[in-house]
């Protein structure tokens, strides 16, 4: 399976990516993570990205695409991948498709996870982060805990600025304006499915896999 995971902040992409990665034995490729890794490894593109990031500027699409391409060409992606965090604009989607053509990848499907705005705001406002390691948890996960489950830091949980309601609403507006057109781009090419993100994690995953397998079957027949 070659999946582009898509959806607004707080819709559950990270959770579903982890489950899909384990079930399908394919890597979860977070563009933020691979960008940081390329910088850490001091690859040619990583060094270019680091120079730009150190100036406080956004890394250009061509460098991000180049780093993604390096990962997708690697042995670990030979049986598929889950791409998370890219593309975020139609321009990026077009550039990604060009890269897919160069790698002879014809079967990538965008999986759009949906949830209504009120549910997203509720989910995000109930998240807490660790000041020490940066790990993020729901309040249910850390109820009664004083130590971070990841790094054991004491009394380190806090509400991030990004997870405050006013900021969440602004983030969702930016998503609707700048990122949602990506869905129309993939729908126009017959390469997208939408999955309801409301329900238990297991229910959402089961429905996601069912719709994904149906889409793959239809594409193979056509």
Query: What's the sign of the alpha-carbon dihedral 76, 19, 137, 198?
Result: positive
Is 191 one of the annotated active-site residues of the chain? no
Is 215 one of the annotated active-site residues of the chain? no
Which one of 18, 69, 150, 171 is the catalytic residue?
171
Which one of 127, 150, 164, 191 is the catalytic residue?
127
Which one of 36, 88, 122, 164 is the catalytic residue?
88
Cβ atoms within 10 Å of 131's Cβ, excluding its own: 13
Is 88 one of the annotated active-site residues of the chain? yes
* Whether the bond into 139 is cis, omega within 30 of 0: no
Which one of 13, 48, 123, 215 is the catalytic residue?
13
Distance CA(207)–CA(195), nearest Å, equals: 7
Which one of 36, 150, 160, 164 is the catalytic residue?
160
Is 131 one of the annotated active-site residues of the chain? no
Is 160 one of the annotated active-site residues of the chain? yes
Say how many Å lie between the first and final Cα of the chain, rounded.
17
Tokens 């890219």 — which residue? 86
The catalytic residues are 13, 88, 127, 160, 171
């Amino acid at each position: 399976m070659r999946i582009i995971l898509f959806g607004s902040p707080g819709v559950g992409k990270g959770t579903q990516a982890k489950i899909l990665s384990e079930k399908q034995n394919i890597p979860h490729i977070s563009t933020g993570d691979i960008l940081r890794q390329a910088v850490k490894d001091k690859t040619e593109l990583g060094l270019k990205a680091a120079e730009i990031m150190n100036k406080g500027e956004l890394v250009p699409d061509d460098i991000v695409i180049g780093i993604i391409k390096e990962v997708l060409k690697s042995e670990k992606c030979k049986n598929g991948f889950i791409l998370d965090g890219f593309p975020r604009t139609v321009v990026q989607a077009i550039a990604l498709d060009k890269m897919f053509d160069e790698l002879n990848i014809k079967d990538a499907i965008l999986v759009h996870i949906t949830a209504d705005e009120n549910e997203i705001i509720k989910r995000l406002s109930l998240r807490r982060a660790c000041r020490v390691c940066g790990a993020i948890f729901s309040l249910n996960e850390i109820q009664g805990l004083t130590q971070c489950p990841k790094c054991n830091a004491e009394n380190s949980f806090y509400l991030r600025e990004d997870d405050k309601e006013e900021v969440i609403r602004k983030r969702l507006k930016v998503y609707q304006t700048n990122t949602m057109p990506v869905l129309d781009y993939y729908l126009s090419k017959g390469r997208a499915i939408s999955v309801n993100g409301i329900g238990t994690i297991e229910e959402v995953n089961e429905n996601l896999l069912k719709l994904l397998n149906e889409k793959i079957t239809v594409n193979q027949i056509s």
